[in-house]
Amino acid sequence: MDLLAAGSPREVIGKLAKHLGCSPTSREVAEYLDEHDELRHLRQQFLFPKVGELPQSDLSLVDGSEECIYLAGNSLGLQPKNAKKYIDEELEKWATIGVHGHLMGSRPWAWAENNLEDLMAKIVGAKPEEVALMNGLTVNLHLLMLAFYQPTAKRHKVLLEDKAFPSDHYAMESQIRLRGFDPSTSMLLLKPRPGEDTLRTEDIVSTIEREGQSIAVVMLSGVQYYTGQLFNMEAITKAGQAQGCYVGFDCAHAVGNADLKLHDWGVDFACWCTYKYMNSGAGGLAGAYIHEKHTNTVKPVLLGWWGHNLKTRFQMTNEMDLQPGVSGYRLSNQPFLLVCPLQASLEIFNQTTMKDLRKKSILLTGYLEFLLKHYYTKDASDPERPCVHIITPGNPMERGCQLSLSFSLPIRAVFKELEKRGVACDMREPNVLRVAPIPLYNSFSDVHRFITVLGSALAASKGVQHN
């Protein structure tokens, strides 16, 4: 469709409004975009909570039978319809054949996760043998750091974001202590410039150039959980490696959100969870990646039987035949119940590509941004009008689908009013509302509904403030 092909989201929306003979803020624009959305069928493969089922809904304000406005997939992805079916199949198998389930059925438990790694690898832009599904995210981060972080008196620092996700911060702190170094001198924290919300690539790169000889590992997120900033992983990897550092990324908020090319970018290692954009359910099986160039050089520090060559694993010889690369980092046999929902989600991803998802995502988030700015920009003639500050970078190349918003009103009050009206989004201290339209299952109408509800929520929270 030509109308949708050309230009920035703002231009597309403008052209469309003209074509339809309506205002760019009209619901018709959203409906048109949904009708022409080539990925719209994927929504049918997920379970959407109903407004009336959400605990904070106020049914005097909204119709409980409607689907909720789910914009929290960055925190917990929706349930794929097949998740339950696959779990039921495995429970049935366990009930009927017991121990034989290890080797039988469509998901033999002894290598069930291996069947998913091809699909997972596609999503992060890696070779299948560079990816392992195992453990939780923070566990994988520790396993990878144990191997890659080999500090010396000269080169002992870890570079990370000042406001990294707390788990990553604690992990780095404890890794540094474990090696006998002091976090106050070995943790190097990147802060945005005064008055700015996000980090500039040029500042990250110049810090690496300045401090690089003392940095052992550069460990940043791919997409920052709080600001929604998508880092230039390729440039950061290049800068870090030029200084002799290993470069790793926590892709918790990048996987299934940004079009990752971990292999081509030469990223040394990465890890991610799968319950956010990957819809595997809380505590789902996490991912780890190690570039093939390290296959025979960077060895796992901790060993378990699942790191042993599958062909001879069950001969129980106590002689380790370590699988090459990231596969050797496996420790335990996999929880088959966790394989099921992740498989259901990966099969949906496999019906499209990250390139196409990203294309929709840029328009979908651009549409949200357009409407927010339209209604909530500072207006000198109307000082009472609430206004929004979007912390997330305006350039679509520097963000995923999430926008992080703060308002001229207290965020907690706004959040409460949104929840009463059937919106699921997420509030993060100190002052941010995170709103994530997910291209896999959110529609343009979801975004339009959100903006309408936001209007009432802001009006109501103004009331709250004055009372």
Ligand X SMILES: *Cc1c(COP(=O)(O)O)cnc(C)c1O
Give residues in contact with ligand X (CB under 6 A). 136-138, 165, 167-168, 221, 225, 250, 252-253, 273
Give me the least distance between CB of 187 and ligand X, in Å please: 16
The answer to whether the CB of 401 falls within 8 A of the CB of 74 is yes
**Which CB atom, from 252 or from 438, has the smaller least distance to ligand X?**
252
Give the DSSP H/E element, type plus range, for residue 12. helix 9-20
The answer to whether the CB of 4 falls within 8 A of the CB of 32 is no
**Which CB atom, from 76 or from 348, has the smaller least distance to ligand X?**
76
Q: How many CB atoms lie within 10 A of CB 130?
A: 26
**Which CB atom, from 167 or from 452, has the smaller least distance to ligand X?**
167
Q: How many CB atoms lie within 10 A of CB 353?
A: 13
The pair of structure tokens assigned to 29 is 């624009």
**Which CB atom, from 199 or from 447, has the smaller least distance to ligand X?**
199
Q: How many CB atoms lie within 10 A of CB 343?
A: 22
Give me the least distance between CB of 171 and ligand X, in Å please: 8
Give me the least distance between CB of 265 and ligand X, in Å please: 19
**Which CB atom, from 221 or from 232, has the smaller least distance to ligand X?**
221
Give me the least distance between CB of 175 and ligand X, in Å please: 14
**Which CB atom, from 32 or from 231, has the smaller least distance to ligand X?**
231
Give me the least distance between CB of 460 and ligand X, in Å please: 31
Based on its alpha-carbon atoms, the radius of gyration of the chain, rounded to whole angstroms, reads: 23
**Which CB atom, from 24 or from 222, has the smaller least distance to ligand X?**
222
Nearest to 459, CA basis, from 61, 66, 71: 61
Give me the least distance between CB of 148 and ligand X, in Å please: 17
* DSSP secondary structure of 118-175: HHHHHHHT--GGGEEE-S-HHHHHHHHHHHH----SSS-EEEEETT--HHHHHHHHHH
Give me the least distance between CB of 307 and ligand X, in Å please: 20
Give the DSSP H/E element, type plus range, for residue 249. strand 246-250
Measured CA to CA, the distance from residue 409 to residue 405 in angstroms comes to 11
Angle between helix 354-376 and 444-466 (nearest 10)? 40
